[in-house]
Amino acid sequence: MGPGKDPGHAPVGVLIVNDSATVRASLRMALGGAEGIAVVGEASGGVEALELVRKRSPDLVLLDVVMSGMDGYAATRAIMAEAPTPIVLMSGVVDTRDVATAMEALRAGALAIVEQLPPRDDPSYRSRVEALARLCRAMSRVRMRPAPPPAVPVVPRARRPEDGRVAAIGVVASTGGPPVLAEILGAMPTRGLPPILVVQHIAAGFVDGFAQWLGRTTGHDVRVAGDGARAAPGTVWIAPHDRHLRAARDGALILGDDPPVGHFRPSGDALLRSLAPFGAEAIGLVLSGMGEDGAEGAATLAAAGGIIVAQDEASAAVWGMPQAAVRRGCVTRSLPPAGIASWLLDRVGVAARA
């Protein structure tokens, strides 16, 4: 197996890394019976995991976030430095420190984070195993890239007269999104920006910690959106778990329990469609992620006069969502994260962070 195998014909070789023998056995049993998956090894910690990655060249590493000794963040950094391999993080009950570890691991190169599987007698067990197997198969096909070079300082040009007012920015992201969001916001000033509304697909239990991590990392005022809250300028609003996030023209945030859109709740399509009444005063960003969420909403917003910017293929961990928007013909520009930040600064008319 390894990087040269054809994922359409050979099973995906998964290395399970968890310091609990019980959890490793449970995962081995679950994935061992899943279509297209072969468990090629187990490790009880990060050091052993790195050794097995070198020896067995798995197609994907399923890595626990919280482990004694080398935690998920340190293990991710070591693997990505010595033998870059697709990594999916797995976590049970989380607290703020666990989330911070997971977010730093995502920033270091891990692709996604999922919850631990429920007990075998749980009604959702079979569907959760199938979802995990699908994710493993999809993530194993991601071509791992070396760490990007240091970002070029963002220096905006003078604001053009035709730019006009920007009242709201909507962002849709999934796999590979958190580090991109951090990079873009980290280049932006903490004052003078319009409200930024974000749908980031992330595992249940991680939204609050993700918002806290993003705020600490970038210095921005990042909050989990509440129903009826006012989308104040200079604030980044994150969609809560399992609730749609929409914005009213008067600046009120609206949370919805209506059915998922394209299997997603929160849905990027729902967010971007809600910005259509803003017309030319709205910007939509479609960042790294699997699937097509955001593409339909981006097309609706563009038809109303909004501007759509997508992450480019070269910089995206997974180009599925940006590619879907590009294929709709609604994307004005495809840019890497630093380019998106530079373009936003130019468009909004604010100076780059010193």
As annotated, the active-site residues are: 174, 201, 293
Provide the token pair at 189. 């000033």
Residue type, 222: V
**What is the SS3 assignment for 277?**
helix
**Residue 14, token pair as written in the block:** 């998964």
322-337 core/surface letters (b: 16 or more CB in 10 A; e: else): bbbbbebebbeebbbb
Using an 8 Å Cβ cutoff, are 59 and 13 in contact?
yes
**CA torsion through residues 326, 239, 139, 57, sign:** positive
Nearest to 321 by CA among 349, 346, 339, 296: 296
**201 in Cβ contact with 289 (< 8 Å):** yes
Q: What angle do CA 233, 239, 245 make, to 5 degrees?
A: 85
Orientation of helix 177-186 relative to helix 337-348, angle to 10°: 40
Residue type, 266: P
The answer to whether 118 and 124 are in contact (CB under 8 A) is yes
